[in-house]
Every structure is written in structure tokens, then in C-alpha cells.
């Protein structure tokens, strides 16, 4: 109902590992009041709302909001080539960037390559040889206290870049660096202490358990938590309209069908191998199985450019490129964080943005990405 007060108190409390009684003690109200607020049957006073936000380490507007329909505007659609006309949105809305230019709203559709940014990354320092090959001396280009507010995440999901930009917008001073790496490589980087967190989407072929078995095996018993980012649809990306009629992995072995594959260690490749094994299709029967590209975007580009007929990626990437999509499974995408890093202020600030409605709305707007449980701690692995 429009205008109803909504809240995310329960999710924020779970993220910090607090019981209702503990949160009540911190905010000076009863446990019953916390339960009623979380259930939406009681609206807190301004003072209680402020105390709740302080206790949960976020802003009042991140915890409470009025469930109202956002306004609509009329915007002028921008095309790169003045002679072209952007296709009108179909049943699925088109993500776009908006700006006020010369007193009017203009919309830049986020389709294909324009949905992703390739930019020169600003440097934080200039390095020269140090005391050993693995120890460099670096002259800083920024203040150490500002650089210390950096969180480094390894992962292959394009959604990580979107989250990073949204988090930096909501938390001025927070810096998020993303290192592109497949799920297995990301876990190796986390084990080395090279990153704060690793993004993973891996399913154990024997048990069907997601992500935790790989974290246990590859992290050598390091204590970690798995924070849920979303559930995304993985499947076969195909040409618009699916002209070859690809309905599943068995069709990849048909004559005249060629794929592009991901590198070993990638969750997409593991999915393809598992599906082919279940279908009794040997990898050698699939043309292009040994042709590897390093990321989800490269898979989509190969299909969009006609260099391949299919490849494994996600529904959100397929939608961004206007490609067809044949779903194979829904899988949880988790952020694996070493427990010792959870006390670092920059890490706390970044994880705290998962309770932010605007951040969650940006992730949900991608399509094929379920944010119902975003921000929950789904597993804690002891050393």
C-alpha cells in the first residue's frame, strides 16, 4: 500500500548478530517493541528511530521508508549516432542513466557496451624496487588515512562494480576496488590476504551445497563469513530470438553450433561441465569448448558479435546486451569475508550499504537478480 512505513530493522540486526533483547537494551525500549517495529505493527518515534540507526550503524533512512510509488518524468532519449533511433522499451523496462541538461531531462539507455564502463583507473601511488622482489617502495599520491578506507573485492560478477559505485555514492570517503577474478582465483587471493573479500558462485556437484564447500577446502580453515549478495540466474546466452533453437546443453553438441567457454576455476565453466556430465554429453562433442574468454562480458560480446552461438553467463548480462537467454539454474552469489576483517571500519561501511534501499534497488533493477536476502550472513565457517 502506498504510504505505508516499511523497515529493514530485522535484516540489519541479523547482519550484526544481535538478538531482539540486545538491540532493545541498546536503544532503551522493550524487546516487545523491537518485535512490533520489525513486524511493521508499530511505528517508532523519531528518537527511537535515531537510536536504532545509531545502534545498527546506519542512517535512519536506511532503516525506515515510506512505501510510495516513485514519480515519473518525461525524458529525451539520447543516441550516440544522431541518425539512429533507440528501440522503444518492450515489456521489460530499459535501465538508463538520467541527467538534467539545459533544463531538460535526458536519458542514456544502458544497453550493450554502454551498460558497462571501461575507464582508466586513478593510481594511488608510484612504485619502485624495494627490499625484495615482493616488497616495493611506493610514493603515495593521496593521504594514507584516505587510502586506508579502501576495500578490495575479487570476483567476476559485473554486479560487484555496480555495488561498488553505489556504495561509494552513499558513503563519501569509502573506496571500493574490484579485482577481476573467477570464483576459485578470488578464494585463493582471499587466502593470501591480498583482498578483503571474494565473490563466489560455485555449487558442489555431489551435495548441491553452494559456495561453503569451496571456501572450506580452498581457504585452509581460515574463519570466514559468507554474506549473501543475491541469487542470479545462470544459463546459456544466445543470439536475439534464439535463431538456432537452443533449449539446453544437449543442443550444444549439434552440428553448426559453436560456443565460447570460460576458463577453469570459473563458476560458469563448472556449471557447463556439470550440466554436460548430467546429460551424458562429452565436452569434446561441443564445438568451441576449448575456446576460453576471461569473463561474463566477453561471453556476451562473442555471442553479440557473431563469434559464437552460445556461452554460459547470467540473465542480467544477457539483458544488458539484448541477447536471448536459456536458464539452467539459479545460484547464490556470496561474498566470502575473513572474520578478522569484519572489524575494519571500511569493511563495515561497505557491508552496511547492503541495507540501503537505493543500493538494493540498483541490484534488483538489473533483472534476473533476486535481492530478497541481500545482506544476510548465510554461513559462518570456523577455523
- 3-class secondary-structure state, position 235: strand
d(CA 95, CA 110): 5
pLDDT digits 0-9 by tens, 69-104: 667 777 888 776 656 677 777 777 777 777 676 677
> Could you tell me if 310 and 236 are in contact, meaning their C-beta atoms sit under 8 angstroms apart?
yes
pLDDT, position 1: 41
Average pLDDT over residues 97-123: 73
Average pLDDT over residues 220-231: 92
pLDDT, position 81: 62
Average pLDDT over residues 160-169: 86
Cell of 56: 545498527
pLDDT, position 40: 86
pLDDT above 90 as % of the chain: 44
Among residues 256, 249, 253, which one has the least CA distance to residue 286? 253
Cα-only R_g, the chain: 23
pLDDT digits 0-9 by tens, 343-377: 888 899 899 888 777 788 888 887 778 888 888 99
pTM comes to 0.73
d(CA 295, CA 167): 23
pLDDT, position 216: 94
Q: Strands (DSSP E) along the chain, which ranges?
A: 4-7, 64-67, 76-77, 96-101, 104-109, 125-132, 135-140, 150-155, 175-180, 197-200, 224-238, 261-262, 292-293, 310-314, 324-338, 369-370, 377-381
- Pick from 42-51, 95-104, 146-155, 286-295: least confident: 95-104
Instruction: Using CB atoms within 10 Å of the CB of residue 36, give its burial: 0 to 12 exposed, 13 to 18 middle, 19+ buried.
Output: middle
Segment of 1-10, 93-102, 177-186, 261-270 carrying the highest mean pLDDT: 261-270
pLDDT, position 180: 83
162 Cβ neighbours under 8 A, 6+ residues apart: 362, 363, 366
Average pLDDT over residues 189-196: 90
Amino acid at each position: 500500500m502506498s504510504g505505508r512505513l516499511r523497515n529493514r530493522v530485522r535484516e540489519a540486526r541479523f547482519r550484526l548478530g544481535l538478538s531482539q533483547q540486545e538491540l532493545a537494551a541498546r536503544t532503551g525500549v522493550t524487546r516487545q517493541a523491537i518485535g512490533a517495529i520489525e513486524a511493521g505493527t508499530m511505528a517508532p518515534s523519531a528518537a527511537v528511530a535515531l537510536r536504532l540507526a545509531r545502534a545498527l550503524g546506519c542512517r535512519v533512512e536506511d532503516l525506515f521508508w515510506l512505501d510510495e510509488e516513485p514519480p515519473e518524468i518525461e525524458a529525451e532519449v539520447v543516441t550516440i549516432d544522431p541518425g539512429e533511433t533507440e528501440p522503444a522499451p518492450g515489456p521489460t523496462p530499459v535501465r538508463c542513466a538520467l541527467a538534467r541538461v539545459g533544463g531538460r531531462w535526458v536519458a542514456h539507455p544502458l544497453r550493450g557496451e554502454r551498460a558497462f564502463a571501461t575507464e582508466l583507473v586513478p593510481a594511488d601511488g608510484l612504485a619502485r624496487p624495494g627490499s625484495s622482489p615482493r616488497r616495493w617502495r611506493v610514493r603515495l599520491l593521496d593521504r594514507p588515512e584516505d587510502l586506508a578506507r579502501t576495500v578490495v573485492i575479487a570476483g567476476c560478477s559485473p554486479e560487484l562494480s555496480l555495488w561498488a559505485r553505489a556504495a561509494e555514492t552513499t558513503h563519501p570517503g569509502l573506496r571500493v576496488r574490484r579485482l577481476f577474478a573467477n570464483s576459485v582465483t578470488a578464494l585463493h587471493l582471499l587466502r593470501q590476504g591480498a583482498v578483503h573479500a571474494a565473490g563466489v558462485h560455485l555449487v558442489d556437484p555431489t551435495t548441491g551445497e553452494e559456495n561453503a564447500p569451496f571456501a572450506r577446502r580452498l581457504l585452509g580453515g581460515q574463519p570466514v563469513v559468507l554474506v549473501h549478495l543475491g541469487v542470479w540466474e545462470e544459463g546459456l546466452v544466445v543470439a536475439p530470438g534464439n535463431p538456432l533453437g537452443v533449449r539446453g546443453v544437449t543442443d550444444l553438441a549439434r552440428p553448426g553450433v559453436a560456443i565460447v567457454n570460460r576458463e577453469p576455476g570459473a563458476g560458469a565453466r563448472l556449471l557447463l561441465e556439470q550440466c554436460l556430465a548430467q546429460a551424458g554429453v562429452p565436452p569434446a562433442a561441443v564445438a568451441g569448448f576449448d575456446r576460453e574468454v576471461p569473463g561474463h562480458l566477453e561471453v556476451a560480446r562473442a555471442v553479440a558479435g557473431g563469434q559464437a552461438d552460445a556461452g554460459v553467463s547470467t540473465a542480467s548480462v544477457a539483458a544488458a546486451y539484448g541477447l536471448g537467454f536459456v536458464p539452467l539454474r539459479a545460484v547464490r552469489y556470496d561474498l566470502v569475508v575473513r572474520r578478522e576483517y569484519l572489524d575494519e571500519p571500511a569493511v563495515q561501511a561497505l557491508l552496511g550499504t547492503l541495507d540501503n534501499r537505493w543500493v538494493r534497488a540498483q541490484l534488483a533493477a538489473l533483472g534476473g537478480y533476486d535481492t530478497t536476502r541481500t545482506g544476510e550472513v548465510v554461513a559462518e565457517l570456523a577455523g
